[in-house]
Amino acid sequence: MSDKYETAIMAGGCFWCMVNPFDILPGVIEVKSGYTGGHVPNPTYSDVKGQTSGHYEAVRIVFDPVIIDYDVLLEAFWLQIDPTDDGGQFHDRGPSYRTAIFFTSDAQRQKAEASKARLSASGRFVDPIVTPVLPADVFYDAEDYHQDYYLKEPEHYKADRKVSGRDEFIKRYWGDSYWEFMSKWSRDEQ
């Protein structure tokens, strides 16, 4: 990867559902599913799903900051998750499905904390925003079959996403704002 690129790491529950929203953004070079924040070296999907490794399912986003700002990635992140749920996301429960923003620089930390504060002050959610802003830890790529799952297994991905409750939540809390953001930033719309 080029020195001009930056890396963002975010956990938003099931990593299958977190790849596509970033993958479609201009300036995003690569999105990898993986594991971070745990205590077991080289965890497997079984370790993480079994809630024994302490890791979050997360995505690592390599992006060109000349084309897309980290603030846009943060906005895309908040639109995908329930930031008030510290027990997992939607139908995926347990510590490995918690949300978090893992900063890779002090500038990212400041932007993430400011973004979280704005969301909290917006009044959009009655319950407190519990998504933590944490220092980045070792990121382990998930197994190959998890990478770009929405493209490799589109029917299974769509079925899983449909029953998860994620889309209903997005519609309820974000409504047209979600679609306006995605239309504005999608590579397909550029």
Are the C-beta atoms of residues 36 and 104 closer than 8 Å to each other? Answer: no
Based on the residue annotation, tell me whether 17 is a catalytic residue of this protein.
no
Eight-class DSSP state of 67? T
Categorise residue 169: left if φ over 0, alpha if ψ from -120 to 50, beta otherwise: alpha
Catalytic-role residue among 8, 9, 10, 14: 14
Which residues of the chain form beta strands (DSSP E)? Answer: 6-12, 28-36, 56-63, 88-89, 92-93, 99-103, 133-135, 139-141
Taking the C-alpha atoms of residue 65 and residue 7, their distance in angstroms, rounded to an integer, is 10
57 - beta bridge partners?
35
177 - beta bridge partners?
none
By annotation, the residues acting in catalysis are: 14
